[in-house]
Structure 1
């Protein structure tokens, strides 16, 4: 049974990451994986289809961002199958999360997740970043396998508060993308992410406006 495997893998993975969740939160995450696996058959939400890899490559990978989420209201762009937005929202029930995606099938899935998991700290936005209300500014905007960094700051920069930051999750360190960033943006910090069960490289790039350029 996948749920039993997921609970065991989640418990084993959370310990070395020093993440403590309640039994209710664990059940929410397991239920989320169940929804993801079910809807993925028709909606192609994620390339990860092996139940044995879903905890490490989806849940634990998303939760590796937890130490860096400080905003009371975070925007997750290109939310897709809800990664990292849904796991973060489960783990941080006191903080708000807005999940943005332009694909109607994916936002339909995300809306269903919010309903079934009873996530009253999550709202779903269907549309492109450029079409979002520019009067709402976020102090943190996260992305996971969304787009190249220069596209991200071009499309979403107007949604970021003046002193805000992007939390960009990547696989290998994207040297070419960093080099292509506009002059008024910088990599403020870079953190290798350790994800139990994931063999490949994982990196977090924290990007903000370069104060030395007046951007």
Structure 2
């Protein structure tokens, strides 16, 4: 078991490297989430990443890297898995209504336990296919969920007229850009420098509705 103080140092240094200023209680709550994920992962196989330090880098810091782009009062995280990036974003910037969407029952059971034990206000989890979800959200996030064409075809109805869609990718998805459906536009592609990832590529595709 990795010492929590070492994980806290790693997390705090990563947050500083990202240039983020988080609420005072955010770091211990993020570590509580990591510990809960690690504990459940032994039984439920929620993520292939098992080393605590790797979870800090590849789950927490990777999620927090998009925080400067998040906007609005409501957010839907599609294909959230064990809550990524939705739960780290909820902890780092509380006060937003967040819907976590996944079709996997085991993962949704974990999400509901995380929401309860971490006392995440305004956060709820639903087990559903993305195309079945209803509502309209100021911000939609999706992390390695599907191609741009598929994610917008399945979930584009969830984006408010002036909303922002944040698609988290590894390498720059240049070959996917022609597949962006009519009615949507790419507003920008940003390289994310996630502390501790080294040469691994991370990109954020920012999309919106055409005409806004």
- Taking structure 2 as the reference length, the TM-score comes to 0.94
How many residues get paired?
A: 210
1-structure distance, mates of 2:185, 2:85: 23
1-structure distance, mates of 2:161, 2:203: 24
- The ranges of structure 1 where at least 4 consecutive aligned residues each deviate by more than 4 angstroms after the TM superposition are none
Consecutive unaligned residues of structure 2, counting only runs of 5 or more, are none
Shift in Å at residue 182 of structure 1?
Answer: 2.2
Shift in Å at residue 42 of structure 1?
Answer: 2.1
Shift in Å at residue 4 of structure 1?
Answer: 2.2
User: Could you give the per-residue CA deviations for residues 169-206 of structure 1, whole angstroms, max 9, x where no partner exists?
Assistant: 00100112112222432211111111110121111101
- The equivalent of 1:192 in structure 2 is 191
- The equivalent of 2:79 in structure 1 is 78
Shift in Å at residue 163 of structure 1?
Answer: 2.2
Mapping 1:1-215, distance limit 5 Å = 1-2=1-2, 3-133=4-134, 136-199=135-198, 200-211=200-211
User: Could you give the per-residue CA deviations for residues 87-119 of structure 1, whole angstroms, max 9, x where no partner exists?
Assistant: 000011122211111111101000000011111
Shift in Å at residue 76 of structure 1?
Answer: 0.5
RMSD: 1.5
Range moving further from structure 2, 173-182 or 28-37: 173-182
2-structure distance, mates of 1:158, 1:70: 18
Consecutive unaligned residues of structure 1, counting only runs of 5 or more, are none
- Taking structure 1 as the reference length, the TM-score comes to 0.92
Q: Secondary structure at the match of 1:15?
A: helix
Q: Secondary structure at the match of 2:10?
A: helix
User: Could you give the per-residue CA deviations for residues 124-164 of structure 1, whole angstroms, max 9, x where no partner exists?
Assistant: 1111111112xx21121001011111011100111111222
Shift in Å at residue 5 of structure 1?
Answer: 2.2
2-structure distance, mates of 1:156, 1:90: 24
**Contact 2:22/2:93 (CA < 8 Å) preserved in 1?**
no
Shift in Å at residue 23 of structure 1?
Answer: 4.3
